[in-house]
Amino acid sequence: MKQVKYIIIVCLALFLTSCFQESVNDFKTLVVQYPMYARKKHIDRKVPSADTDFKNLHEYKEYRDNENRIKKAEFVQFSYWIDSLVLPNNQIYDPVRDKDMTFEYIRFYIQIAKCKNPGMEQSLDSNYFEPYPNQRKILLAEYIRPKVVDFYKTPKNIIQIPDSTARVLDVLLRENPYYYFIDEYGKMVGQTAPIINFPYMESRYDLVVRYSIAM
């Protein structure tokens, strides 16, 4: 009986030690989420087509202030909407009249970059960077057959980024916190011409990043 009590006491002690250690580790790490906003204005946006923007995490104060203490940087959530759209016939988009307008797809990718010039890592000038060799572009979010009316002036279309994608980006971005953001529009449903042109398109993207910061 004494031996059983001894085993129970030892197991309880080990359990409490484990819980205490986990609590200490939690106090040593601060987890915070920051939204990164981007607005894109296109003159003569053709579809289908892809467009690329360069991004450097150093442009965000939250990243700069904690760069040397970041243990993990996860992209967790993405949303997209259209703020303004001029149609190929030069009419302004009307959500009632044009409610059936649908793209075949809209996709968003990230392509990791590398700095070509040592000392220019914090520059926001894309000329100092290039695509990371042999690194494929990573699908961040995808909308299949999105109706424009569902994305017009509303941020409700939120996509949770898969854990597998978040883990890959975490590893890559902690080494190279610069990337190309690529948006790709498919044809309009029913489009017969190889390419059509939207004289003006303005859209907004929100990307939520979760940082684990060493205290």
Omega before 48 cis (within 30°)? yes
In the chain, where are the structural domains located? Answer: 30-214
Task: Give the pLDDT confidence score for residue 116 in this predicted structure.
Answer: 93
Predicted local distance difference test score (pLDDT) of residue 9: 42
- Residue 180 vs residues 10, 43, 70, 135, 137: alpha-carbon distances, Å: 54, 20, 21, 12, 9
Q: Which two tokens stand for residue 131?
A: 């695509």
In this predicted structure, what is the pLDDT of residue 159?
93
pLDDT(191) > 70? yes
- Asked if residue 17 has pLDDT above 80, the reply is no
DSSP bridge pairs for 65: none
pLDDT confidence band for 129 (50 / 70 / 90): very high
User: 117 or 7: which carries more pLDDT confidence?
Assistant: 117
- Give the predicted TM-score (pTM) of the model: 0.82
Q: What average pLDDT score do residues 175-182 get?
A: 91
Considering only residues 165 and 9, tell me which one the structure prediction assigns the higher pLDDT. 165
For domain 30-214, which CATH number applies: 2.40.128, 2.60.120, 1.10.3720, 1.10.357? 2.60.120
- Tell me the mean pLDDT in the region 177-199: 95
Q: Give residue for tokens 């890559």.
A: 172
Q: Is residue 86's pLDDT more than 50?
A: yes
Residue 142 has pLDDT above 70, yes or no: yes
Answer with the residue of higher pLDDT: 26 or 24: 26
pLDDT confidence tier of residue 107, bands split at 50, 70 and 90 = very high
198 Cβ contact list (under 8 Å, min separation 6): 42, 44, 45, 46, 47, 85, 86, 87, 88
pLDDT at site 27: 59
pLDDT of residue 11: 42
Please give the average per-residue pLDDT across 19-26, as a whole number: 41
